[in-house]
Amino acid sequence: MENELPLKIRADIRDLWNSPTSSIQHSVKTLSETLGHKIIPQIQWLTVWTGLKAHFPDKNIFVPTICSTVTAWYDRLLWRLEQEVFSEWTEEFLTLLAVTGCGFEILLMIELDSSTVSRPQTSWKKNMNAFYLTVPIANLLGLAQVEVGFDKDFDHLMSVKMTEDNDEDEWSDIRADVTPSVTRTEIPRAIENPEVITPSRLPLLDTLARPSDLLASVAPYMLIVDATIGLPLTVQCSHEAGLELLANYLKKWARVNIQDSLKRPLLKIELIESWFCSGVMDTISIEPLMNHRGPNLQFNPTIILAFIEGVLGYKMVNSTAYRWIYKSDIPVAR
């Protein structure tokens, strides 16, 4: 069936998933060395691709995105096992694995979730003796949000589900958005207190999408407006789609030079490609056409500042006389 997949996806599965040197296989091995059990990821690639391909017009990032999500699952579980604050949780977890009867190897089933959830979720299914990682049929979130979601799922992985015959030893098949009636293990204060930021592992290089897609999905977005006198007004932004929207809006409503027989706009508004990443636009440059340039060039940037806050939803975090720095913590679909 995998022969029905596009050639690029089959090549990525070979190099980024099946290869013994891939990041996902490294994470599987590292976790098994600490845990004493090997949790093996299983995925029906054709099924998952068929369900998600509408959300991946660029198939080059499909396998890296799945690999990144699954690698995050292993890395967050490994991090939790290594933290003393989760010692009681670890004892419960090891007991769970011991009673499965599956021996050294346990499956992690990666499947699609056709419900309305917006993030990948994980659960333990007792009747299957396997972990499940369900992926929503939607644009996948940034890695940081995925990791936070997995942390919540792991918190409630071993909650007690009260059955009709009061069998309190029944392991529940429960997700983070379901409130358990009784909890086996108290959630440590490090998780309960939102002001405490738990450390995270850096993603491995081959799981990261190309810059245009990675930066679009990873918040916060950063934006800088510079209106220094005598220089072109510049808007620099890490979110390319938002920057393009601002540039196109300004071009649409640009004031025309009525003295120009060609009816050209007074301002030259130009998107500039990033010096860091090929094909990524990260700057708008705004300046008068040559015949309107003067030594004391100065712009009134208030329209641009209002657009950034009112339309793009950024919040100002710092400013000087001619520079404004903005930040947005909310991921935006393109």
Domain range annotation of the chain: 2-209, 216-328
User: Does residue 333 surpass a pLDDT of 60?
Assistant: no
Q: Distance between CA atoms of 211 and 102, rounded to whole angstroms?
A: 41
In tens, the pLDDT along 84-141 reads: 999 999 999 998 888 776 667 899 999 998 887 889 999 998 888 899 999 999 877 7
Q: Distance between CA atoms of 31 and 24, rounded to whole angstroms?
A: 11
User: Does residue 46 surpass a pLDDT of 50?
Assistant: yes
Report CA-CA distances (Å) from 237 to 22, 144, 148, 217, 312. Answer: 32, 20, 25, 14, 11
Q: What is the pLDDT of residue 142?
A: 73
Q: What 3-state DSSP class applies to 327? A: strand
Report the mean per-residue pLDDT for the chain.
82
Band the pLDDT of 296: cuts 50, 70, 90. Answer: low
Q: Token digits for 312?
A: 């793009």
In tens, the pLDDT along 60-88 reads: 889 988 998 999 999 999 999 998 999 99
Strand partners, 287: 268
Predicted TM-score of the model (pTM): 0.60
Q: What is the pLDDT of residue 141?
A: 73
CA nearest neighbour of 27 among 65, 61, 62, 77? 77
Q: Enter the DSSP assignment of 31.
A: H
For the segment 188-196, the average pLDDT, to the nearest whole number, is 41
Structural contact between residues 98 and 30, judged by C-beta atoms closer than 8 angstroms: no
Q: What is the pLDDT of residue 261?
A: 84
In tens, the pLDDT along 244-271 reads: 999 999 999 999 888 888 888 889 999 9
Query: For 219-222, which contacts have Cβ atoms below 8 Å and span 24 or more sequence positions?
Result: 219/142, 219/144, 219/328, 219/329, 219/330, 219/331, 220/327, 220/328, 220/329, 221/314, 221/327, 221/328, 221/332, 222/325, 222/326, 222/327
